[in-house]
Amino acid sequence: MAMHPQRKQRLLIILFILVVSGLAAGLLGYALKENINLFYPPADIAAGKAPTGKAIRAGGMVQEGSVQRASDSLVTRFVVTDFSATVTVEYEGILPDLFAEGEGVVASGKLGEDGVFYATEVLAKHDETYMPPEVSDALEKSAASRAAQQEKGSL
Amino acid sequence: MLGIGSKFLKENSALSISSTFHKWGSPRWFYQFSARLMPWLAGLSLLLLVGGAVWGLAFVPPDYKQGNSFRIIYIHVPASAVAMGAYMTMAIAGAIHLIWRMKLAAMVMKAIAPIGASLTFLALLTGAVWGKPTWGTWWVWDARITSVLILFFLYLGIIALHQAFENRDAAAKACAVLAIVGAVNIPIIYWSVEWWYSLHQPASISFTGQSTIHPTMLRPLMATLSGMYLFFGWLLLLFVRVEILDRERNTRWVQDLICGESR
């Protein structure tokens, strides 16, 4: 169907607006990439990309078995990992309910000269998995039995 | 022979496309056509929204980590998804209005802005209420939440821009351009959780792979999600119909309609 030339021109103008605003948004996003990222993963911190002594955020997964709580205060130390590097976080205060080993976490605070991240706030990062408790129990059981079977097989 | 036949077909289909287009451009035809749709949309959306909410709130097991607080998903996800879908509808209506000067498209655009703003506000509010017990904070300036806040401001901007013009056509033109420019924000919202490190989790519903939400929890979500789309459709038709009556109040058919009803 032939389009009326005037309408065709208006369509082209609209496409032009879309391309230009898309390009502008793309360039803006690219230029501000570091600022739009909410946190630094441990790999970036280990590589020296994160500034020390400045308010930043660090995020990743709390390493299994790394949480140490002081007996006489609310000070907690734990290791955050992205499975390529780790950073130790120290925090004094109440942790969110969903904070646990093996779970995601975003801490805001300052990176010390000693490489320890001194957090003033710790947030739990929830992942996209949703399931009923029975399903999670069943999954854990089947994973455990599979692991046991593998152990048997290797013996 | 074949050449003549295909030429005839082509002209015929072009004629039917343009006549459909003219029909859709006629506010009077749209008013009468939408009257038949309204009760279906209202009934179905009510059934799906109320049914899905009761199902999700009372009959679905709690989440293994979040407990009962996950149930806000049955409002949060539909509100967010429809807020984005509504924006795309508004931008497309704006483009149609700019290209073909179709008055109905301008009315659709004007009707969507307050609905979209309300849905975006609902998405931000339910997100904050869920964020406090889950993350430990009401608000964080991550890419997802900030881009949805921008969506909210875009809707408010379009409402304000519309009010700023005395002339209806000038208002529609300006709003259409703003709506089209702002459409860039929609893919940014959608992929923000993939492109940048954010606190908000990625999508649980996948169209191409396995969804990471268990089917027992997903089914009521699908009910409230489709219910929200239908509710949006119903509200949109309602607002457009009111706008049609307002704009055509001096025409014969509207006067006949109103007087016929009051007599």
pLDDT per position as a tens digit, B105-163: 999 999 999 999 999 999 999 999 999 999 999 999 999 999 999 999 999 999 999 99
Residue B204 has pLDDT above 80, yes or no: yes
Distance CA A50, CA A89 (A): 14
Q: Which of A14, A22, A131 sits opposite B64 (nearest CB)?
A: A131
Q: Does A106 touch chain B (CB under 8 A)?
A: yes
Taking residues B202-226, what's their average pLDDT?
A: 90
A121 chain-B contacts, CB cut-off 8 A: 136-137
Query: Strand A55-62 and strand A104-111: pairing?
Result: antiparallel
Q: What is the pLDDT of residue B3?
A: 47
**How far does the CA of residue B195 sit from the closest CA of chain A (Å)?**
9
Closest to B130 measured CA to CA, from A134, A97, A72:
A97
pLDDT tier for residue A141 given thresholds of 50, 70 and 90: confident
Distance CA A103, CA B259 (A): 66
A10 chain-B contacts, CB cut-off 8 A: 98-99
Distance CA B119, CA B236 (A): 13
C-alpha pair distances (Å), B143 with each of A44, B135, B197: 19, 16, 8
Question: Which of A34, A126, A141 should be substituted to probe chain B, the one whose Cβ sees the most B Cβ atoms within 10 Å?
Answer: A126
Q: What is the pLDDT of residue A134?
A: 85
User: Are B99 and A10 within 8 A, CB to CB?
Assistant: yes
User: Are B63 and A1 within 8 A, CB to CB?
Assistant: no
What is residue A57's DSSP assignment? E
pLDDT tier for residue B19 given thresholds of 50, 70 and 90: low
**Residue with the two structure tokens 């957090």:** A119
Sign of CA dihedral B181, B182, B188, B190: negative
Q: Quick check: B138 and B132 in contact, CB under 8 A?
A: yes
User: Are B199 and A123 within 8 A, CB to CB?
Assistant: yes
Helix B103-134 vs helix B215-247: crossing angle, to nearest 10 = 140
What is residue A54's DSSP assignment? S
Torsion-angle region of B219 (φ positive above 0: left; ψ -120 to 50: alpha; else: beta): alpha
Query: Which residue in A has a C-alpha nearest to residue B11's C-alpha?
Result: A1
Distance CA B54, CA B74 (A): 10
B56-107 pLDDT per residue, tens: 999 999 998 888 999 999 999 999 999 999 999 999 999 999 999 899 999 9
Tell me how many helices (H) and strands (E) chain A has: 4, 6
B166-201 pLDDT per residue, tens: 999 999 999 999 999 999 999 999 999 999 999 999
**How far does the CA of residue B10 sit from the closest CA of chain A (Å)?**
8
User: Are A123 and B135 within 8 A, CB to CB?
Assistant: yes
Q: What is the pLDDT of residue B122?
A: 97
Q: Quick check: A80 and A102 in contact, CB under 8 A?
A: no
- Give percent above pLDDT 90 in chain B: 74
Q: What is the pLDDT of residue A99?
A: 92
> What are the sequence ranges of the domains in chain B?
37-203+213-257
Residue A146 has pLDDT above 50, yes or no: yes
A99-127 pLDDT per residue, tens: 999 999 999 999 998 989 999 999 999 88
Taking residues A79-86, what's their average pLDDT?
A: 92
Q: What is the pLDDT of residue B2?
A: 46
* Widest distance between CA atoms in chain B: 74
Distance CA B106, CA A12 (A): 19
What's chain A's average pLDDT?
88
Instruction: Convert chain B into a string of H (helix), E (strand) and C (coil).
Output: CHHHHHHHHHHHHHHHHHHHHHHHHCHHHHHHHHHHHHHHHHHHHHHHHHHHHHHHHHHCCCECCCEHHHHHHHHHHHHHHHHHHHHHHHHHHHHHHHHHCCHHHHHHHHHHHHHHHHHHHHHHHHHHHHHHHHCCCCCCCCHHHHHHHHHHHHHHHHHHHHHHCCCHHHHHHHHHHHHHHHCCHHHHHHHHHHHCCCCCCCCCCCCCCCCCECHHHHHHHHHHHHHHHHHHHHHHHHHHHHHHHHHCCCCHHHHHHHHHHHC
Taking residues A18-47, what's their average pLDDT?
A: 89
- Give percent above pLDDT 70 in chain B: 90
| Total number of residues shown for chain B | 263
Distance CA B44, CA B5 (A): 44
How many interchain CB pairs under 8 A, A with B?
126
> Does the pTM exceed 0.95?
no
Q: What is the pLDDT of residue A154?
A: 60
| b/e per residue A41-65 (b: at least 16 CB within 10 A) | bbbbbbeeebeeeeebbbbbbbbee
Distance CA B175, CA B185 (A): 16
